[in-house]
Amino acid sequence: MIDNLPVDGTISVDVFCNHVTSRHHDSPLHVHSHHIELFLLISGNVSFYTEKQAFKMQPKSLIIIPDGIWHCAVTHDGSPYERAYVNIDFDLINILMTDKTNLYKCFEESRAQEVSTIILDEQQCASFTAMCETLSTVIEQNKYASDIYERIILLQMLLLANEVAPMLEHQKNNIPKLLERLTRFISENMNQDLSLSMLGQRFFLNPNYINQYFKKYMHVSIHTYVIKKRIELSKQLLREGASVTDTCERCGFGNYSSFIRTFGRYVGMSPGKYRKMYYHEMEIS
């Protein structure tokens, strides 16, 4: 999971990877709409959250995260939190795979349960970490044939993720019931009023308590989370060819001008320009 991501989780490069150790690093709940992620926990006392589940991660756990899945990792103490991860643009995976070898297979299978987990052995863990370090160096140096070396390493990473059998199911789902109810209600009512006052009335709880409770686990306020959800939904609808006006209504933005302003602030372009760019590309392909 990348530090200092834009609020909508957009990654501006085809590939981003890192191997880092820190303490008390809690990423906010976020999503990558066009990138998959391979996230390896090497050491640390960490829980992994999605919108529907939470589970303690074992060292040497490789999490398979499809594009479009909301997720975050939360540390529980100050022990060294070492991880290695790579984000790969979906289109690049299509370029790398062949008719005989579907490199996206592990992500397709993971999507049914949001994410899946592979437990690596010592050699596999060391190999994946070394590949992340080498890939980071190749990208940074940008020397002759760096694009070729980058794709060779990516192929090795994706083959590892597809060849090792995942756990059939995660450990006990530890997501708090209220948190699961909140995320489900928000997802099912994107076109409705999702203000804190409304949520307080819906769940018979103090609005400030709901916000503090949500932020405790997800490390993001409900207001920001709802904006991010609406931005992601609007991007999806626009890519599918929905009009800007229809998208505004279906995503629950207060009014048209608010939608234009909010979308532009978080995505960096107007909804109309975004639609023209991505929907046109889909029509061509």
Nearest 10 degrees: CA dihedral of 183, 189, 193, 198? -50
Nearest to 41 by CA among 7, 10, 76, 69: 76
Question: What does the pLDDT read at residue 285?
Answer: 46
At 219, list the tokens: 């490390």
Q: Classify 119 as helix, strand or coil.
A: strand
Residue 271 near residue 244, CB atoms below 8 Å = yes
- End-to-end alpha carbon distance in the chain: 30
Which residues lie below 8 Å from residue 128, measured CB to CB, with a gap of 6+?
A: 38, 40, 62, 84, 120, 157, 160
Q: E strands within 153-211?
A: none
CA dist., res. 212 & res. 199, Å (int): 13
The domains located in the chain, with CATH, are 15-163 (2.60.120.280), 177-284 (1.10.10.60)
Nearest 10 degrees: CA dihedral of 41, 47, 51, 53? 110
Which residues lie below 8 Å from residue 243, measured CB to CB, with a gap of 6+?
A: none
Q: What is the pLDDT along the chain (285 residues), one digit of tens a residue?
A: 444 444 445 678 999 999 999 988 878 899 998 899 999 999 999 999 999 999 999 999 999 999 999 999 999 999 999 999 999 999 999 999 999 999 999 999 999 889 999 999 999 999 999 999 999 999 999 999 999 999 999 999 999 999 988 876 666 788 999 999 999 999 999 999 999 999 999 999 999 999 999 999 998 999 999 999 999 999 999 999 999 999 999 999 988 999 999 999 988 899 999 999 877 655 544
268-274 long-range contacts, CB within 8 A, separation 24+ = 271/234, 271/238, 271/244, 271/247, 272/244, 274/235, 274/238
DSSP labels, 39-90: EEEEES-EEEEESS-EEEPPTTEEEEE-TT--EEEEE-SSS-EEEEEEEEEH
CA torsion sign, 183 to 180 to 41 to 148?
negative
